[in-house]
């Protein structure tokens, strides 16, 4: 079976990496095409996971609109699909790359497999544009690899045939365990991790922060920064914030939080360095979907700076809390966790146990 793996962003690459290696181990013919929707961040992941793309469309442009990016992906992927003529195209999650590659494959009559299928908020503006990307991909896909019961249930309710839905867990947990195993080897030295060890105090509780969602630009980002400023007055904490390169994030964060006591603003870090930071953190404040999935395996609580989440399992089981961008709510929940959090009673990650890629391979082998 000839399989074309397509992705464009750092999160997709992380979540597709363990599947790529499992496919290779099991003698599938695997071709990789990247759109490079994220360039530098994508390249870091490809290097760490030892993946060399067969096609690199290199579509990233400064200040690119979603419509322009979508048109470029459709046009460029059409040529790749014609040349490769795969039996199955794999896409991941909710990016513009995923939805446009799925559409291009559909136009060519090529079957699509959707990894991390079925997540929903049913609010087309949150997350934007990811919710609609994911729903569109879900309508185009022929095979749906869902991570959880909730995701499976969403697709069934939408009329997707149950015979095309395979519940596997999330491949991000596979990637997380693979990364921890690699960075914890005695002979492994990562320059970024060594640098972080030198600049982060070991005697304080680390609050790790990330943020990049479009819907939080403006007032939401201001509120988050003001909340962090208030929390940073505590002597027992250090806030570590790898600042996203988008000017809508970077400019606001640097203006409000640079040169402040107990706040460490750093450049975006590679995936292994970020996993190390998650391991060392006491709690995490983020609008990232992947972090909501990874943190339960590390025993770290997450404050989700969004009003909705397509990953409700973590919220329902107490691993994460939706706080939106309400300044007082962010402050109060952080303070409460700093004072009272002693670990989770339930240590079972609802998003998987590290066997998602293996489960996908088992299904594919039964197709042959």
Catalytic residues: 94, 116, 130, 212, 214, 244
Q: Strands, E, within the chain: which ranges?
A: 2-7, 29-34, 55-56, 88-92, 111-115, 143-146, 165-167, 205-209, 237-242, 263-266, 283-286, 302-304, 320-322
Going by C-beta distance under 8 Å and a sequence separation of 6 or more, which residues neighbour residue 9? 37, 38, 41, 42, 95, 97
- Residue that is written with structure tokens 């909501």 in the block: 292
β-bridge mates for residue 304, sequence order: 286, 322
**Residue 284 tokens, joined:** 């995490």
Which helix (H) or strand (E) is 124 found in, with range?
none
Contact call for residues 231 and 334 (beta carbons, < 8 A): yes
DSSP 20-76: HHHHHHTT-EEEEEE--SSSHHHHHHHHHTT---SEE-----TT--HHHHHHHHHHH
For residue 134, give the 3-state DSSP assignment. Answer: helix
Cis peptide preceding 127, ω within 30 of 0: yes
Give the Cα separation of 40 and 50 in Å (integer): 15
Cβ atoms within 10 Å of 21's Cβ, excluding its own: 17
Q: Cβ neighbours of residue 164 under 8 Å, at least 6 residues apart?
A: 141, 142, 143, 144
Tokens 């994508």 correspond to 42
């Amino acid at each position: 079976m000839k399989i074309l793996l397509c992705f464009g962003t750092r999160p997709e690459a992380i979540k597709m990496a363990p599947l790529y290696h499992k496919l290779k181990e099991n003698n599938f013919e695997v071709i990789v095409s990247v759109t490079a929707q994220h360039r530098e961040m994508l390249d870091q992941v490809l290097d760490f996971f030892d993946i060399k793309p067969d096609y690199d469309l290199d579509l990233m442009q400064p200040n690119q609109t979603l419509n322009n990016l979508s048109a470029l992906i459709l046009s460029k992927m059409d040529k790749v699909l014609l040349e490769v003529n795969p039996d199955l195209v794999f896409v991941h999650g909710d990016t513009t790359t995923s939805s446009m590659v799925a559409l291009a494959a559909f136009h060519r009559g090529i079957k699509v497999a959707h990894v991390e299928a079925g997540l929903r908020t049913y609010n087309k503006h949150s997350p934007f544009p990811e919710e609609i990307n994911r729903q569109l991909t879900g309508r185009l896909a022929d095979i749906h690899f869902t991570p959880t019961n909730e995701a499976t249930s969403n697709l069934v309710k939408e009329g997707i045939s149950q015979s095309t839905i395979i519940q596997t867990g999330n491949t991000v947990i596979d990637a997380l365990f693979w990364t921890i195993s690699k960075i914890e080897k005695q002979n492994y030295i990562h320059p970024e991790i060594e640098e972080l060890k030198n600049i982060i105090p070991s005697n304080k509780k680390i609050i790790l922060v990330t943020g990049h969602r479009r819907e939080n630009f403006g007032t939401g980002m201001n509120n988050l920064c003001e909340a962090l400023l208030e929390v940073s007055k505590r002597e027992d904490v250090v806030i570590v914030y790898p600042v996203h390169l988008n000017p809508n994030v970077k400019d606001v964060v640097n203006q409000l939080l640079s040169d402040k006591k107990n706040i460490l603003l750093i450049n975006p870090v590679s995936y292994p360095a970020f996993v190390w930071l998650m391991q060392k953190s006491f709690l995490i404040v983020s609008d990232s979907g992947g972090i909501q999935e990874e943190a339960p395996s590390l025993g770290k609580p997450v404050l989700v700076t969004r009003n909705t989440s397509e990953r409700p399992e973590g919220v329902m089981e107490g691993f994460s809390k939706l706080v939106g961008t309400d300044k007082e709510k962010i402050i109060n929940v952080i303070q409460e966790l700093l004072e009272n959090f002693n670990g989770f009673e339930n240590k079972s990650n609802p998003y998987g146990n590290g066997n998602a890629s293996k489960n996908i391979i088992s299904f594919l082998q039964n197709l042959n």
